[in-house]
Structure 1
Amino acid sequence: MNQWLEWSEATIVTTRAHYVDDSSAYDRAFTRVVAVDQYTAWATELEALHAARQTGADLVLSSSEDDVLRAARIRERLGLPGQSVDSARAFRDKFVMTGTVSRAGLRTPATYRLEHPLDLLDLLDRHGRLVLKPRWGAGSEGVRILRTRAEVVALLSSGLFPVVGRSPESWLVQAFVEGEFFHVDGLMAAGTVLHCWPSRYNVGNAESVLDQQTLSSVQLDPEDAARVPLQDFTRAVISALPGPPATTSFHLEAWIERDGLATFCEVGSRTGGGGVAGVYESAFGLHLSQENLRGQAGQSAVVAEQDRLPAGIHGWTALPRGHGRFHPPETCPVEGVRYRPVLPAGAQAAGTRYAADASALVLAEGRTAAEVRQRQQEVDHWWREAGVWR
């Protein structure tokens, strides 16, 4: 990370496990390392705040979904420049986010803050199918798709919600949207899209987790009929939200419904997961995470020098975690792909926990989206036949 910025002094907050695994690399790259046991705990934000005060930090940078809002809160406490709390909340709180986009006249699913769990039964009668998700979630972790009253009753019996008398409003309910699912990735600054390109998912993120399916995506061909409408829709969404002032990466998801129009799902002010960064760099020579950090640091972006059309078509596949002990093959026999195990050999797993929760990642390229999809299908077949979980 720090090699992208070339700062003389920088502090990083990371997990103790990551630091122990590669302490020498951390010590070479950073002036100070703050190692915590549980990264998502509130104490991590407190440790980061203490470190910023002790070192007299000029800037606070974030690169992950978990850090967008808490980095903004630290900036606010210390009076530092960068993405504000209001902006960070609009890109993290799905209720605030969807409401803002809807008020701008863009199409969104019918969306409700869950005031009382029994309201799910009334909403199911009204919409037929529902999606229940955490307002501040990521990667479709914890998302439920509810199709029947029996599924709602089972959920109410599961212990998911707080006891009677306490509010469950950290949950969001949306009407289920039927359509092709896409993501649009790129760079933005001050409410303007600087560079972006859409990709088509093979399946919805929530479905990939709930059904334990392989998740993949492929960039759209330049002549794909959905390409320009999705780019235009993305520009309208980014313009509607209180965006960060500096160059920042973003990851937007949307459906194209049967009428050909786009419906908003969500957007984050950070680089998408899975193979998004690798695909974008291969296609455009832009590393989204690098430009994200450079922008937050006030350094000039290189986006103006990049082509607006991709060099070939690229896609990624997140090969899912299975059940048992991991025995990854050394190489992948499929032509035109780059294969990299994510889990170490011998690791134990108990299934996919969130979207793009991969055991291995494969990047594929080709002349067309159809050629890339064919290679992804060959990879998926090879993986299932390889017997990697035993």
Structure 2
Amino acid sequence: MNVLILHRNPFEPFPYDQWLADYDGDVVVLAARDKFEPFGEKVPTDNLGYTRLEVLEQFDDALILKRALELVTEFQITHIIAHHEADVDTAAWLREHLGLTGAWPADVLPFRDKALMKQRAQRAGIDVAAHATPRTAEEAWAFADLHAFPLVCKDRAGYNAIGLRILGDRDELADYLAHTYFDAPREDALFEVFVPGRMCHVDGLVVDGRTVLAWPSQYQYDLASFGTDQGARVDLTLDRDDPLTDRLLALTERILAALKPSGSRLRDHAFHAEIFHTPDDRLVLCEIASRPGGAKIREVFHTIFGANLGEYTTRAQLGLPLPALGEFSGAGDRPQPRAMSGQMLTMKRPGLVRSVPAAPDESWVERFWVYARPGQVIPPAAGSSDFLTAVVGSAPTRAECERRLRSLGARFEAQIKIVEAP
């Protein structure tokens, strides 16, 4: 077996050489050049131990497809893996075109097209926000006239909150439409009624069609505020006895069942589900992806289960052992977290970096990252995963984990100095 990996990420969070140390086939990687230097990595100049590593100047679908098909022939590729949302469709198309195992386009479409996702979920009795896919400005106004502001506008196949807008009134909608519906009808827009409440997320792993690991967390911030938020952003796993834990896990199973009909080829994959918990105690599906969650969710998951979702998804798709699952039999007794965990993030903001925090020495800090250095001029955050610093911590309870991360966040806020660039 030989594998082709489409890689639109830095390498530090995805050490395939370590994850696949016991894999005896060829590992071929197509990587995106623009994902290295913004995260403090040098652009690779050799194969880094892989059978072949190619760094593409432009990671667009046409170029990826052309080069991937050439590499498939050269290396007799049997498996194609992609962990970035922007590459899920490309990988699926390649598998179908080549007749390879794994998910094909029809299998991933309900996870990529947010409108189709909501339609299927709604048919299964799952609560979703009122929504529409207006092709014209007139249709957008008609939707607004039916519903109260605020409204949420996003790309049907978007990710990382890029392009997401929350419109508070008719003036903001008019301005948005003037800039987005000025030349031709759109097929890619999704409008939703704003859902109040805190956003939860459930992350997990499916092996051979069965969920073998899953756990819920709750964002303590708004994802869409990445461009203006200068404070610490905290995300926390939920305690085992939290009233929401079992509800979120059960709802996620219903969502997966609604989006994966009998015969789906999507059998081995991670998932990242985002679900609103409203003030009136409803759970409302926002969206779900069929790949590992972003930010530092993979590292948080490793802290609570000893399994990195990126690593285990990669190994599951190649049929390799998954040691952290132990003797799990699938009889309904899934592994439970060994601790609570969470992440504390600060976002990039434009300017000249004067100072950044030093690595914290607290024993409960599992991992620390910093993505800028003093003297560097940096741009604003381009998406919800464009961090300045990140920390993954642990604690016996969610409350203690939150206390630790917020205290560290306040310290980081005082230590980060970014001034206007000359």
Q: Verify same fold: TM over 0.5.
A: yes
Structure 2 partner of 1:136: 157
- Indicate whether 1:361 and 2:376 are aligned: no
Judge conservation of contact 2:202–2:248 (CA < 8 Å) in 1. yes
- Indicate whether 1:169 and 2:187 are aligned: yes
Judge conservation of contact 2:107–2:266 (CA < 8 Å) in 1. no
Correspondences of 1:85-104 after superposition (within 5 Å): 85-104=105-124
In the TM superposition, what whole-angstrom CA distance separates every residue of 1:7-37 from its partner, at most 9, and x where no partner exists? Answer: 331211012464992536x524211122211
| TM-score, structure 2 as length reference | 0.85
- d(CA) in 2 for partners of 1:7, 1:14: 21
Matched letter for residue 307 of structure 2: L
In the TM superposition, what whole-angstrom CA distance separates every residue of 1:272-319 from its partner, at most 9, and x where no partner exists? Answer: 111101111111111111111111112243464277221121000221
Structure 2 partner of 1:3: 18
Correspondences of 1:1-390 after superposition (within 5 Å): 1-5=16-20, 6-16=23-33, 18=36, 21=42, 23=44, 27-128=47-148, 129-157=150-178, 159-163=179-183, 166-189=184-207, 191-209=209-227, 211=229, 214-242=232-260, 244-302=265-323, 304-305=325-326, 308-326=335-353, 327-332=355-360, 336-337=364-365, 338-390=367-419
| TM-score, structure 1 as length reference | 0.92
1:249 deviation in Å? 1.0
- d(CA) in 2 for partners of 1:247, 1:200: 25
Number of residues of Structure 1 aligned to a counterpart in Structure 2? 386
Deviates further, 147-156 or 51-60: 51-60
Task: Tell me the SS of whatever aligns to 1:380.
Answer: helix
Task: Tell me the SS of whatever aligns to 1:14.
Answer: strand
Q: What percentage of aligned pairs have identical amino acids?
A: 25
Structure 2: tracts of 5 or more residues without a match: 1-15, 329-333
- d(CA) in 1 for partners of 2:71, 2:373: 32
RMSD: 2.2
Judge conservation of contact 1:130–1:173 (CA < 8 Å) in 2. yes
- d(CA) in 1 for partners of 2:202, 2:96: 30
1:321 deviation in Å? 0.5
Judge conservation of contact 2:360–2:368 (CA < 8 Å) in 1. yes
Judge conservation of contact 2:325–2:335 (CA < 8 Å) in 1. no
Judge conservation of contact 2:29–2:53 (CA < 8 Å) in 1. yes
Matched letter for residue 370 of structure 2: P
- d(CA) in 2 for partners of 1:149, 1:89: 33
Task: Tell me the SS of whatever aligns to 1:45.
Answer: helix
Task: Tell me the SS of whatever aligns to 2:140.
Answer: helix
Structure 1 partner of 2:11: none
Judge conservation of contact 2:61–2:90 (CA < 8 Å) in 1. no
Matched letter for residue 364 of structure 2: G
